[in-house]
Amino acid sequence: MHYPASKLPHIGTTIFTVMSQMANEHKAINLSQGFPDFDGPSALLNAVGAYIAKGMNQYAPMSGLPVLHEQIAAKVQRIYGNPVSADEVTVTSGATEALFAAIAAVVRPGDEVIMFDPAYDSYDPAVELNGGISIHLQLQPPAFAMDWATLKAAITPKTRLIILNSPHNPTGSVLTATDMQQLIELVRGTDILLLSDEVYEHIVFDGQQHQSLNRYPELYERSFVVSSFGKTYHTTGWKIGYCVAPPPLTAEFRKMHQYLTFATCTPMQLALADILRDEPEYADNLPKFYQQKRDLFCSLISNSRFKFAPAAGTYFQVVDYSAISDLPDTTFCEWLTKEVGVAAIPVSVFCKVPPEMHLIRFCFAKGDDTLQRAAERLCAI
């Protein structure tokens, strides 16, 4: 039998799966894949069980439960001042599904989609599967700031979509209010659409304010804004996210969503609606919670041979290992996992054309004892 050629011939198993499997195999401390090793709020967890016991176990509406729509809309208005309606919210089975649905909704064969490397690894395959052409622009270390002149030069009549990610995975950089003004000027008078990956929206440090596209009406009118409950409530395994977009874009988004997953877990949606209603301040406290973890991890590895500047956002810390080894980052991460017992993610895998850099990413969304044990091993190198 002759099987059809792969639609993604250059894509293998995602690096997150590879490194987590390697960490398990070698009993290494897993600071690679971005998930906490602690649970979410007990009130949230208990509510899911209560709703299951009450029989709330059948399909939710395709776009999500109205009660959760209403609470998300209220949150977006409270935090960002964007008076969205509940009809502009779609609940999805994780942020990755939302990203794919948004791309599938608007990208047609031959359309160009601009993204910034290092880029989350689901963007490029989604564009390719929908016939688009990915235009990769390289963010430069150590700041990984946006180069607006380079972006402006990359825009052509075929540019359909620009994908933004702030706080940025894997580098931890964040977009500023000045960046938003530059973006407004860049897209004004065009039909360019925006996809904003904001899953770490509540994990911004040092008193900075997250610059959501929800804050800027001129940007929101052309945007899909994607977020994740998993990152906010330490429940990554639930795979529940959402997309907020103006009505014309929401209508197209839902056409894709309904044939990807149709509906998302009912009792979990109900529990999330409860915590958004009962503890709206929960997200406000998240920056302090994770900044303490960032500061702890950075202080624990401050005497190591790794070089770094503390992350501005997310729960990831990028470090430079060039004082330790000249190995390529993928090889270094393999060595680090097998010989040192700490798993990390190589940054080059987030780039279309891997640049010359010796950078790896650690996840510090871990218990303090886990960070302490990992740091001891890292400082012993």
Cα separation, 281 vs 238, in Å, equals 21
Adjacency order of strands within the sheet including 223-228: 89-92, 241-244, 223-228, 193-197, 159-165, 112-117, 133-138
How much is the pLDDT for 191? 97
Cα–Cα nearest to 366, from 122, 33, 92: 33
Residue 77 φ then ψ, to 5°: -70, -40
Instruction: List, in order, residues 6 or more apart from 276 with CB less than 8 Å away.
Output: 68, 71, 72, 74, 75
Neighbours of 141 (CB within 10 A): 18
Query: Where are the extended beta strands (E) located within the chain?
Result: 29-30, 89-92, 112-117, 133-138, 159-165, 193-197, 223-228, 241-244, 316-320, 342-343, 345-346, 359-363
Cα–Cα nearest to 340, from 23, 17, 104, 43: 23
Cα–Cα nearest to 343, from 35, 34, 37, 28: 28
How much is the pLDDT for 311? 98
Neighbours of 48 (CB within 10 A): 22
Cα separation, 21 vs 26, in Å, equals 9
Max Cα-Cα span within the chain: 60
3-class state of residue 331 by DSSP: helix
Cα separation, 295 vs 57, in Å, equals 41
Q: pLDDT per residue over 148-177, tens digit each?
A: 999 999 999 999 999 999 999 999 999 999
Cα separation, 355 vs 350, in Å, equals 10
Question: Bridge partners of 360?
Answer: 319, 346
Chain position carrying tokens 């064969």: 109
pTM of the model: 0.96
Which structure tokens are listed for 284?
A: 């406000």
Which structure tokens are listed for 364?
A: 């510090």
Segments in the chain below pLDDT 70: none
- Give the helix, strand, coil percentages of the chain, each rounded to 5: 45, 15, 40
3-class state of residue 224 by DSSP: strand
Angle at 249 between CA 118 and CA 132, to 5 degrees: 45
Give me the domains of the chain, ranges plus CATH numbers: 15-40+284-379 (3.90.1150.10), 42-278 (3.40.640.10)
Residue type, 241: G
Residue 125, preceding bond cis, omega within 30 degrees? no
3-class state of residue 169 by DSSP: coil
Tell me, what DSSP letter sits at residue 307?
B
Q: Are strands 29-30 and 112-117 parallel, antiparallel or unpaired?
A: unpaired
How much is the pLDDT for 140? 87
Cα separation, 102 vs 279, in Å, equals 30
Cα–Cα nearest to 271, from 72, 84, 64, 50: 50
How much is the pLDDT for 355? 77
Which structure tokens are listed for 298?
A: 């950075």
Cα separation, 259 vs 281, in Å, equals 35
Are 299 and 371 a contacting pair, CB within 8 Å? no
How much is the pLDDT for 357? 84
